[in-house]
Amino acid sequence: MTTTRRLVHCTLPPELVREPVLHGLVGASGAVVNIHRANVDIEAGVAWYLLELSGVVEEVDRAEGWLQEQGIKVDRIADQRTGTDQGG
């Protein structure tokens, strides 16, 4: 089983700044979410997160896809994989 630690920068559209995005992210995937840095200015309607998503590759991919489906711009900064694939 291959696992990964992926660092992503997420930029939220103004309409999501007041929404519980991280709560939804945790519920939508089995990835572990660690906040490295964030800036949320509700009055200005600006928010971004620097997140580490870790776990089985498929769950981390699901987490990243969920963020994008919400309209969040996701930029991958780093992706460190460990383990081996059990291919045939």
Model pLDDT, residue 83: 80
Ranges of the chain whose pLDDT falls below 70:
84-88
Model pLDDT, residue 84: 66
List the helix and strand counts (H, then E) for the chain.
2, 4
The span from the CA of 42 to the CA of 3, in Å, is 35
Model pLDDT, residue 3: 96
Model pLDDT, residue 1: 83
Contact indicator for 54, 34 with CB cutoff of 8 Å: yes
